[in-house]
Amino acid sequence: MPKGKSFYKKSLSVGVLDSALFMAGCGTADTIAEQPAESEQEEAQTTTASDGSGETEQPEEAAGEAAEADEEETQAPEENAEADASATDEEGEAVPADQKGITMPLPLGTPLADLIEHYGQPTYDDYFLGSRLVVFNKEDGYFLDDDNIAKGFFVGNPEVSVFDTRIGMTFEEIDEILGAKGAVGYDQSETQYYLNIHYVENYKITYSAETEDGPVVEIVIIRSK
């Protein structure tokens, strides 16, 4: 804290000045009347500490404001750090928001080269349901567009969650989880499976089973929008 002059020194200065003016015959009454007012104003602004240290005591209101300012300065870097961490997480997020309900290892939009780099060579590579399909480890499949970019999923892995549904569930269980009854039919032309079709968010999801009340053996997911 800055050091200020003591009240004793101010009073002594007033006395000396008053004596000099009196001896010179000047108008001391006016000077004496004005000087204490100035001293009182200065005293109110720089009150001397009770321990005689000569340090001025800050008013409680000013001290409170200073403390709040220090606290805000302390909190500001923390808030900025949290904001930076949040931005980093968002920028580093590889899975689009509408695919977070599908736990395939790689998201749609992944090039074939990156799929092979992740899995190795596919165990199946042929046309299925009108598109090129590559399947890795006989379980994780990706439909490719004309540029060999993943545009859909073929799920055969029971560990993969598709909006909380999985391989091995029945059509009835899937309907209950998704909150709606799917369109059930039979595919005579290509798979010879019973199908249960649902539309969830931006996807057409087709569940396939060998019997209408049997467990699902594969799931095909194609973006519908």
pLDDT band at residue 172 using 50, 70 and 90 as cut-offs:
very high
CATH architecture of structural domain 100-223: 3-Layer(aba) Sandwich (3.40)
Confidence of residue 11 (pLDDT cuts 50, 70, 90): very low
64-97 pLDDT, tens digit per residue, is 565 565 555 555 445 544 444 443 333 344 567 8
Contact 164, 100 (CB under 8 A): no
Give the confidence band of 176 by pLDDT, cuts at 50, 70, 90. Answer: very high
Decide: helix, strand or coil at residue 188.
coil
How much is the pLDDT for 16? 40
Q: What is the number of alpha carbons within 13 Å of residue 135 lying toward its C-beta?
A: 16
- Reported confidence tier of residue 164, pLDDT bands at 50, 70, 90: very high
How far from chain centre, in Å, is Cα 107? 21
User: Considering Cα of 205, then 208, then 211, then 216, what sign does the dihedral take?
Assistant: negative
**Does 98 have pLDDT greater than 50?**
yes
- Mean pLDDT across the chain: 75
62 CA to centre of own chain: 36
Neighbours of 116 (CB within 10 A): 13
Mean pLDDT of 108-118: 97
pLDDT at 168 over 80: yes
Alpha carbons 225 and 132: distance in angstroms, whole number: 20
Task: Give pLDDT, residue 143.
Answer: 98
Closest by CA position to 166, among listed 210, 96, 218: 218
> Do 152 and 142 contact (CB within 8 A), yes or no?
yes
| Residue range 130-134: mean pLDDT, rounded | 96
- Summarised one tens digit per residue, pLDDT across range 119-128 is 999 999 999 9
Any idea where the domains of the chain sit in the sequence? 7-88, 100-223
Q: What is the band of 117 on the pLDDT scale with cuts at 50, 70, 90?
A: very high
